[in-house]
Structure 1
Amino acid sequence: MNFELKTLDAAAAAGHKTDALIVLLSAEAKLPAGTLAKWVADARKSGDIDATPSKLLTLWHPEGMQATRVVLVSTGDGHAVRVRQAVTAAMGALKAAAPKHVTVCLPDANAPCLQAAAQAVADASYTYTATKPSAKAAALKRVVLALPTAAKTKAAKPAFEQACAQVAGVALAKEWGNRPANHATPTQLGKVAQGLAKHKRMSCKVLGPKEIEALGMGSFAAVARGSREPMRFIVLQYNGAAKTVAPTVLVGKGITFDTGGISLKPGAGMDEMKFDMCGAASVLGTFEALGLLQPNINVVGLIPTCENMPDGLALKPGDVVTSMSGQTIEVLNTDAEGRLILCDALTYATRFKPRAVIDIATLTGACVISLGHVRSGLFSPSDELAQALSAAGEAALDPCWRLPLDDDYAEGLKSNFADVANVGGREGGAITAAKFLQRFAKDYPWAHLDIAGSAWKSGAAKGATGRPVGLLLQYLLTA
C-alpha cells in the first residue's frame, strides 16, 4: 500500500474524497466550526462518542461530508498506545467494507502517534497470501495520514518517512516469518538477503557449508547435520557512514524449522516451529527499512540459518562440539540449538570491531513463561546499551524488559566433559540461555533479545508479528 502525508484541516477533511475517513479525537480535542465539528459535537452530546479510549461511531455518507464512511474514534489521553488501539478499532469497524482508500486525521505532529497510526493501519490490513491462493489480498491501496496545518505536516515529515520504512520492514519480517518451512529454506532466506543488497549502500554475501566449516563454525555446522537443506551464513552490510565509524551488528537466529532434533518436540503445536527464524526475519526487515531510509550509520546483519532435524547424522545428547571460538560445548539437549548457531555468529561478529552487538532469537519457552506475549526479554551486562534498547522499545511501542545476568546463573552450565553445557536445567531457563551466549560475546558491548513470546501469535490470530523491527530501527536511528 502507498502512504501519503497531507495537510487537511477540519474544513478540508469534510471536502476530502475517500472511502473512509478516520478522525482521531483526544479528550481535549476541539475542532474549528464546520461540518465535521458539528458531527463531533452532536456525537458527544448524544453520548455516542466520549473520552473512553477506542470508543467509536461510524457514519455512512454523512451530510456535508465527501467521505463514504466517517469513523469518529476516541484516543483518550492521546498517548501513542491509545492511538494504535483507536486506529486498530476503526480499521476493524471498516473491515467488511474493504475500503481501497483510507484517510486518518491526526490532531498533531507527535512522531510516536503518527508512527503508531501508520503501523496500526498496516497491521490491520495485512493478509498472508504467499501459499494461500484462495485468500484475497487486502483491498487497501492508499493511506493518507493527515495533519491540520502545513507547519505540522512539515514537522512530521521525518517521522512519516521512518513510519513508512518501519511498515515495509515489519511487512517483510511478517511475510517470511509466516511462510511454511518448505517455502522459507535457508537457501531462500539467502536469496531474500541478496535481494535487499539492491538498495544503495548495502551489500550481501551468503556462505555455504564448505565456507562455514572452513571458518571453524563447528557448533553451527553440527546443528545443520541432520537436515538435507544446506545451511547458509548470511552477512549483510549497510554502509551509510565513514569506514572508520564502528558498526552495530545485528545477529538473527535463523532456524527455518525446529523439530527439536533427537530431543524431539511434542507433535502438538510443532507446526509453529516455522516461526523459529523470526529473529532472522527481523534482521531482514530492519535492513529493508534501512535501505529505504538511507541513514548515515553503519550496520552489519549476521544470520546463521539451517533446519534442526532428527536424521541419522543429527547431533545426539551428550555429543561434544567445538565452536568457532575454540570453546567446546556438551550438547545435553539438541532442542537448545538456537544458542549453538548464535554462538558462532557472535564470535564472527568480533571481526567488525563493533560498537555494539545485539542478537535476536526465539530462544526459550522460559521467556514466554516469564513475560508472556507483551514484552521481549532483554539481557545485557551493559547498563548503557540496555537502557538505550529499553527506551527504543518504549518509543516504538515494541517493548522489552531487562532480566538479570548474575554469574551464579551460569553454575548450571558446567560440564564434566566440555568447557560448557548447552543447557542448565528448567529453572531460569531464559537466563541460563543468555549466560551461555554471554561467554561468546565478551569482546564488545552485547545485548540479547529473547523474542519467543513476542515474535508470533497463536490461536485464531496465528501469525508473525514482525517484532522487534520497530525496536531495532528506533535504536539504530537514535543510538
Structure 2
Amino acid sequence: MKFSIKSENPEKQRSACVVVGVFEPRKLTDAALAMDKISNGYIGGILHSGDMEGKTGSALVLHNVPNTLCERILLVGLGKEGEFGDKGYRDAVRTAFKTLHETGAADAALFLTGIPTEKRDNAWKISQTVIVAMESIYRFDRLKSKVEENKPRLREVNLGIMNSGNQAELAANEVAMQQGLAIAEGMNLAKDLGNLAPNICTPTYLAEQAAGLAKTYKLKVTILEEKDMENLGMGSLLAVARGSRQPAKLVVLEYWGRAKKDKPVVLVGKGITFDTGGISLKPAAEMDEMKYDMCGAASVLGTITAIARMRLPINLVGIIPTTENMPGGNATKPGDVVTSMSGQTIEILNTDAEGRLILCDALTYAERYDPETVIDIATLTGACVIALGHVATGLLSNDEELAEELMHASSQAADRAWRLPLWDDYQEQLKSNFADIANIGGRAAGTITAACFLSRFTKKYRWAHLDIAGTAWKSGKEKGATGRPVPLLTQFLVGRTMKKTL
C-alpha cells in the first residue's frame, strides 16, 4: 500500500473514496462539513434521516454525492466527541480501512488526522494511521495451498491535512509516515515469524533470518553453536536444549548507527521456537500456541528491521537465545542443578520455567558490550496474562528512569505496558536448599518472581524486562501473532535518538 501526505481540502479530491468522520449524535467534523457544504446539505440530510448516528465502529458509504469530485464518501463513526482519544482514533481508522476493503475503491483520501485529539499532533495520528492501515492488509497465507483471491483492492492512500502550509509541520508529518511504515514492516516480520509452523521456524531458521537481515541492512551477525555456548559456560541455556534434536543457537545482530564509543542499547529476545514444557509437560489443550514462545526473539528482529530501515542514529545489539523445549531421554529433569554462565547455580524445579533459563545466560553474555541499557522481551509467565490480560505488557526494571522512559514510549506508541514492582521482598521465594537459586518461586506473584530471577543476572547494567505473554499473540478466531511490542521498542529507541540530538 502506497501512502502520501497532501495539504488539500476534501472537496477538491478526485479520489475513489473520501473518508471523513462523524461524532455522535450526527455531528460532522470539519472535513465532513466541507463535503456537506459542497453537496448542498446532502450528507446532513442522510444523517438526519436516521441512517447513521456516529457511534464508534459504525460506517456508511455514500455513492454519487452531488457536486463532489470523488466516487464515494465514507462516513466513519467517532463516538462522543468528549470521549474521543487515542483508542477512539485508532478504532476509527481501523473501521475506515475495514470498510474501504469491502468496497471496490483502489485509492482513498483520509481526512481523519485533522480531528482534534488531546495531546496528539498530526504526526502521531499519521504514524498510527499507517500502522493500522498496514495491519488491515496483513495476511499470513504462505502455508496454504490456495491463496485467497479476494484480497483488498486498496493500493493508494492520501493522508489529507486541511489548511496546513507549515513546512516544518509537513516535514514532521513525512518523518512520522516513514516511521509508521518502518514499524509496520518490523511488525510484519515479527508476525510472520510467530505465525510460522514450529517445524519450519526452528532455531536454525531464526538464525538464517537474522543472517538475511544482516545481509540486507549491512549488519554484523554472529551465530554461536552449542559447542561455542558450552565453551562459554552457558549451562543454563544448554540445559533447556538437551531434550531437543534441533540444535540451540545464540544469535547476535549488531547495528551501529553512531560511533562505536557510544554504548549500545541491547535487546534480548526469548526464542523458544516450541515449548512443550519439557518433562513438566504442558496440557494438550492449545499447546499448538506454544509456537509463539519465540515472539520475544521475533520482536527483536522486527525492531532491528524498523531501526535499520529508518537508519536511526543509535547503536543497537540484538541477542537471541533460541532452542526448543522438548521431553526426551536426555532432557533436563525437575531437581537437576545447572551452572549458568555467570557462575550461579540453579535448581530446576520446573522445566516449564525454561524461558528464564535461556535468558539468564544471554543477559550475562550482554555484559561484553558494556551496554548503556539492556531490555529483555519474553513470553515468560502465564501469571502475567492473569494479572494484565491481553491488553498490557508487564514491565519490571531495576532503574526508575528507564522504566519511566519505557512507559512513556508505550503511551506514545499506543502499545500499552504496565509496571509491576521488583522489590527484594519477593527474592525470598526463589531460595533453594541445594543451589544458589531456584528457577521458580511458587504460584504467588509469578510474573514478579520470574523477573526477580532475571535480576540476579543484571547487576552490572540498567535493565528492564517486558513480559509479553498476554500481548504477543491472539487466540480463538483471530489467532495470530500481534507484532507487539515492536511499536513500543521502536518508539523507545526513536526517543533515545531525539534525546541525543537535543
- Provide TM-score, normalisation by structure 1: 0.94
What residue number does 2:155 align with? 141
CA 1:214 to 1:42, structure 2 compared with 1: closer, same or farther past 3 Å?
A: farther
Distance across 1 between alignment mates of 2:356 and 2:262:
29
Does residue 88 of structure 2 align to residue 91 of structure 1?
no
Q: Name the structure 1 match of 2:187.
A: 170
Provide the secondary structure at the position in 2 that maps to 1:182. Answer: coil
Q: Which residue of the partner structure matches residue 106 of structure 1?
A: 112
1:283/1:55 CA distance change after superposition, 3 Å: same
Give yes or no for the alignment of 1:451 onto 2:468.
yes
Structure 1 residues 154 and 220: CA distance shift in structure 2, 3 A:
same
Contact 1:354 1:444 in 2 (8 A): yes
Letter in 2 for 1:8: E
Equivalent pair of 1:80/1:112 in contact (CA under 8 Å): no
Structure-2 residue corresponding to 1:6: 6
Residues 117 and 107 of structure 1: CA distance in aligned 2, closer, same or farther (over 3 Å): closer
Offset of residue 100 of structure 1: 4.1
Counterpart of 2:230 in structure 1: which amino acid?
Answer: E
The Cα offsets for residues 7-44 of structure 1, whole Å up to 9 and x where unpaired, read as: 3312222x22x3x4332456673244653784544445
How far apart, CA to CA, are the structure 1 residues paired with 2:479 and 2:30?
A: 40
Distance in 2 of aligned mates of 1:233 and 1:429: 26
Question: Does residue 1:21 correspond to 2:49, yes or no?
Answer: no
Structure 1 position 360 matched with structure 2 position 372 = no
Inter-partner Cα distance in structure 2 for 1:103 and 1:420: 59
Distance 1:133 1:66, change over 3 A: farther
Among residues 121, 135, 140, which one is paired with 2:133 in the alignment? 121
1:35-94 CA-partner distances (Å, limit 9, x unpaired)? 378454444544544554343222234344454443111335453321210111222334
Q: Deviations over 1:346-368 (max 9, x none)?
A: 00111111111110000000000
Partner of 1:70: 73
Tell me how far apart the structure 2 counterparts of residues 176 and 99 of structure 1 sit (CA, whole Å).
Answer: 31
- Deviation track 1:383-432 (CA, whole Å, cap 9, x = no partner) reads 11111101100111101000011111111111111110100111111111
In structure 2, the residue matched to 1:408 is 425
CA distance in 2, matches of 1:98, 1:125: 15
Cα contact 2:276–2:325 (8 A) shared by 1? yes
Match of 2:30, SS state, is coil
Q: Distance in 2 between matches of 1:357 and 1:65?
A: 55
Q: CA distance change for structure 1 residues 61 and 209 in 2, over 3 Å: closer, same or farther?
A: farther
Residue type at the aligned position of 1:278: C
Paired-residue identity, %: 50
CA deviation map 1:208-253 (0-9, x unaligned) = 2112222211111111111111111110111111111111111100
Return 5+ residue gaps in structure 2 as ranges: 115-120, 497-502
> Could you tell me whether the CA contact under 8 Å between 2:413 and 2:487 is conserved in 1?
yes
> Within 1, Cα distance between the matches of 2:488 and 2:347?
34
Q: Counterpart of 2:499? A: none
Match of 1:385 among 380, 402, 405: 402
Asked if the contact 1:22/1:105 (under 8 Å) is kept, the reply is yes
- Return the alpha-carbon distance in structure 1 between the equivalents of residues 444 and 248 of structure 2: 32
3-state SS in 2 of match to 1:181: coil
* Bigger Cα displacement from structure 2, 367-376 vs 194-203: 194-203
Distance 1:100 1:338, change over 3 A: farther
In structure 2, the CA distance between the partners of 1:326 and 1:121, relative to structure 1 (3 Å rule), is same
Indicate if the aligned counterparts of 1:171 and 1:285 stay in contact, CA closer than 8 A: yes
Q: What amino acid maps onto 2:18 in structure 1?
A: L
Does the CA-based 8 Å contact 1:199-1:292 persist in structure 2?
Answer: no
Counterpart of 2:320? 303
Structure 1 residues 464 and 419, CA gap change in structure 2 (3 angstroms): same
The alignment status of 1:373 with 2:385, answered yes or no, reads no
Distance 1:421 1:73, change over 3 A: same
Measured on the aligned residues, the alpha-carbon RMSD in Å equals 2.1
Alpha carbons of structure 1 residues 271 and 114: separation in structure 2 relative to 1, 3 Å: same
Structure 1 counterpart SS, 2:99: helix
SS of residue matched to 2:199: helix
Tell me the alpha carbon deviations over residues 446-471 of structure 1, each in whole angstroms, 9 at most, x when there is no partner: 00000000010101010000000000
> What CA distance in whole angstroms lies between the structure 2 residues aligned with 1:12 and 1:204?
51
Code of the aligned partner of 1:2: K
- Letter paired with 1:82: G
Structure 1: gaps (5+ residues):
none
Shift of 1:187: 0.9
1:289 aligns with 2:295: no
TM-score, length-scaled by structure 2: 0.90
Count, aligned residues: 476
2: distance between equivalents of 1:28 and 1:299? 46
Greater shift, 464-473 or 176-185, is seen at 176-185
The equivalent of 1:312 in structure 2 is: 329
User: CA–CA distance in 2 between the matches of 1:63 and 1:427?
Assistant: 65
Counterpart among 487, 490, 497 of residue 470 in structure 1: 487
Q: How many Å separate the matches in 2 of 1:54 and 1:217?
A: 51
Using the TM superposition, name which of 329-338 and 190-199 deviates more.
190-199
Taking the aligned partners of 2:126 and 2:398, their CA distance within structure 1 comes to: 33
Matched, 1:161 2:178: yes
Q: 1:318, CA displacement in angstroms?
A: 0.6
SS in 1 for 2:356: helix
Aligned twin of 1:56: 59
Is the deviation greater in 202-211 or in 425-434?
Answer: 202-211
Native 8 Å contact 1:378 1:448 kept in 2: yes
Instruction: Work out which of the residue numbers 249, 261, 284 in structure 2 matches 1:267.
Output: 284
Q: How does 1:397-436 map to 2 (within 5 A)?
A: 397-436=414-453
SS in 2 for 1:426: coil
Question: Are the equivalent residues in 1 in contact too, given 2:194–2:292 (CA < 8 A)?
Answer: yes
Whole-angstrom distance in 1 between the partners of 2:343 and 2:112: 56
Shift of 1:345: 0.6
